[in-house]
């Protein structure tokens, strides 16, 4: 399905973001399991699996789902699963595992983990809804072209 504004389905962008955002979870789970913490390792592994399954389902249904809606949906999932995995490891990993993971201990990093996906979502919303000539103006339905867009299309 083609999006009405800026964001469109692109295989490289979709799977690059999906795999890039979840890639850190697999080595984290492996190191935890190797260090004798298989129960805690299930959290990052499960989060990674969930994110990638949902991402693949959204990609498979891209003929029925608007690209921006799917992007916000997957980022919402990332906003939940990334801090869940991060704080589960931070609070429950043994000191040996923390050293093996080279896990940072900083309030600012914890804050970044909690806020990065919501910040990206806000930025993407600004990009999507401020797109040239198709922003939702007073009295205008979402996706309905603005007067400027209509004038440009008549001029062509």
Q: What average pLDDT does the segment 126-136 reach?
A: 67
Instruction: Answer yes or no: is pLDDT of 140 > 80.
Output: no
How many CB atoms are closer than 10 A to CB 104? 11
Q: Look at residue 131 and give its three-state secondary structure.
A: coil
pLDDT tens sequence across 93-128: 999 999 999 898 888 988 999 899 999 989 888 888
Q: How confident is the model at residue 3 (pLDDT cuts 50, 70, 90)?
A: low
**CA-to-CA separations, 144 to 130, 136, 140, in angstroms, rounded:** 14, 8, 6
Give the start-to-end residue ranges of the domains of the chain: 11-133+146-155
**DSSP 8-state symbol, 150:** H
Q: Look at residue 148 and give its three-state secondary structure.
A: helix
DSSP per-residue string spanning 2-46: --SSS----HHHHHHHHHHHHTTHHHHHHHHHHTT-HHHHHHHHH
DSSP per-residue string spanning 59-124: HHTTTTS-HHHHHHHHHHHHHHHHHHHHHHHHHHS-HHHHHHHT----HHHHHHHHHHHHHHHHHH
Q: Is 109 left (phi over 0), alpha (psi -120 to 50) or beta?
A: alpha
pLDDT tens sequence across 38-73: 999 999 999 999 999 999 999 999 889 888 889 999
């Amino acid at each position: 399905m083609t999006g009405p504004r800026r964001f469109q389905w692109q295989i490289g962008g979709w799977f690059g973001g999906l795999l890039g955002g979840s890639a850190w979870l697999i080595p984290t789970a492996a190191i935890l399991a190797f260090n004798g913490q298989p129960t805690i390792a299930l959290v990052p592994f499960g989060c990674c699996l969930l994110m990638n399954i949902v991402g693949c389902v959204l990609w498979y249904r891209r003929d029925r789902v608007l690209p921006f809606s799917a992007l916000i949906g997957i980022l919402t999932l990332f906003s939940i699963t990334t801090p869940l995995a991060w704080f589960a490891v931070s609070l429950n990993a043994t000191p040996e595992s923390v050293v093996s993971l080279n896990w940072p201990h900083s309030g600012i990093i914890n804050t970044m983990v909690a806020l990065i996906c919501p910040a990206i979502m806000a930025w993407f919303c600004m990009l999507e809804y401020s797109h040239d000539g198709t922003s939702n103006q007073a009295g205008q339905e979402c996706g309905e072209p603005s007067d400027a867009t209509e004038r440009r299309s008549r001029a062509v």
